[in-house]
Structure 1
Amino acid sequence: MMTVRTILGVCGVVAVLSTAACGSTQVGMTAAPATTAPALTDTRYGPLSAADMKLMTLVQETSIREITLSQWALQRSTNPQVRAAAQMIVTQHVQLQKEDLAAAAKLGVTLPDRPSADMQVGIDRMSQESGKTFDTDYANSLRQAHGEAFILIAQVRADTRNSVVRPLADSANDFIKMHIQVLEKTGDVDYSQLPVPDAS
């Protein structure tokens, strides 16, 4: 038979264990620190995000690169499908670049006047190519680049709060889908070089 002292001792141990358990539960349930919201720049057309500005920069750099490469394709390629892709890409990137520069002027954003360093590497490489080597490099380089840009365009179009960026993203989205399709029609795209889609 348990004495009063024994009972009190057991209760004390239970109380201590309960407190310890609750304490560790509380530590485990501590909320993660809030993440900092992306910075926005106020404009008369609505807030401008870093992703918005990244899109405008990408459109400008890509237009310079792809107009150059596609003009080479028109001069060098004997593949009618490559030439058709190149003609569409030149025409539409000239239009898209005008829209991009007009949007940047409205928003007070300064855009680069040359491609990024990594884009220039590809331009330099392809400047030395001809024939089938050029056609294959042209189709695959542009197809991969368009796939990467497609993701950014979709994100910006889905989330931008800026009324000037929205129509630019619409134009970029419409053109890039056509460019992907016409590049794939060349027969030179190696799909094994494309990244595996991430389901997360």
Structure 2
Amino acid sequence: MRTRSILGIFGALAALTTACAAPQQTMAATPPTPKPAALTDSKYGPLSAADVKLMNLVQETSIREITLSQWALQRSANPQVRAAAQMIVTQHVQLQKEDLAAAAQLGLTLPDKPAEDMQIGIDRMAKENGKTFDTDYANTLRQAHGEAFILIAQVRADTRNTVVRPLADSANNFIKMHMQVLETTGDVDYGQLPVPDAS
């Protein structure tokens, strides 16, 4: 009987040891913490890849949207489209100046033409007139502004650079107004916009 009791105690101890060891195996499987994004030093504070991406995007979109909005002023008979176009031209001229000044301070060279995917839209709308142009103009710019709005918010929230921060503020204020004024045209198809990701 005593032998059985001793064996039972050893068995219980072995089971307890195995149970205690299980969490250690789970902890070992935890993925490593991701490395922070690389930063470039500047006298105005660290500069991230997202900061530079925003500055390039502001320049590229300003070139595109000034061009398209000038066409809208010439071609559209819709007063709401024309009002949106006038606001977008005026504010992108100002935003482009701020962007170029910020780039000069940071020693960066910005693009002098739109990105290839933007040029496709410019080439397409160059051949359009009337309602076709109005609809394409409102939807192309509304979707582009929504995508830019996400990057601007990220940069404004996280940038460590004192030159980029006020530029992101200006871009945020203008882009929000542009989305709103484009929506007043009545031509925006919200079904074309991406579904928000809750993750």
TM-score scaled to structure 2, two decimals?
0.95
RMSD: 1.2
Counterpart position of 1:46: 45
Q: 2:8 is aligned with what amino acid?
A: V
1:91 is displaced (CA, Å) by 1.1
1:107 is displaced (CA, Å) by 0.8
Residues 24-47 of structure 1, C-alpha deviations (whole Å, 9 max, x = no match): 221112343121001111100011
Counterpart position of 2:167: 168
Superposed, which structure 2 residues align to 1:82-97 within 5 Å? Answer: 82-97=81-96
Counterpart position of 2:21: 23
Counterpart position of 1:10: 8
1:135 is displaced (CA, Å) by 0.3
Q: 2:150 is aligned with what amino acid?
A: I
Residues 139-165 of structure 1, C-alpha deviations (whole Å, 9 max, x = no match): 011001111111111111111111100
Q: 2:32 is aligned with what amino acid?
A: P
Q: Which runs of 4+ in 1 moved over 6 A?
A: none
Among all aligned residue pairs of Structure 1 and Structure 2, give the percentage whose two residues are the same amino acid: 75
Counterpart position of 1:153: 152
2:10 aligned counterpart, secondary structure: helix
Q: 1:17 is aligned with what amino acid?
A: A
Q: Distance in 2 between matches of 1:63 and 1:57?
A: 10
Q: Distance in 1 between matches of 2:89 and 2:165?
A: 23
Q: 1:180 is aligned with what amino acid?
A: M
Counterpart position of 2:140: 141
Q: Distance in 2 between matches of 1:39 and 1:89?
A: 34
Counterpart position of 1:121: 120
1:197 is displaced (CA, Å) by 2.3
1:97 aligned counterpart, secondary structure: helix
Residues 54-112 of structure 1, C-alpha deviations (whole Å, 9 max, x = no match): 11011011111111111111111111111111111111111111110110111112211
Q: 1:174 is aligned with what amino acid?
A: N
Unaligned runs of 5+ in 1: none
Q: Distance in 2 between matches of 1:32 and 1:58?
A: 34
Q: 1:122 is aligned with what amino acid?
A: G
Q: 1:55 is aligned with what amino acid?
A: L
Unaligned runs of 5+ in 2: none
1:29 aligned counterpart, secondary structure: helix
Q: 1:115 is aligned with what amino acid?
A: P
Q: 1:167 is aligned with what amino acid?
A: P
Q: Which moved more, 1:66-75 or 1:29-38?
A: 29-38
TM-score scaled to structure 1, two decimals?
0.94
Q: How many residues align?
A: 198
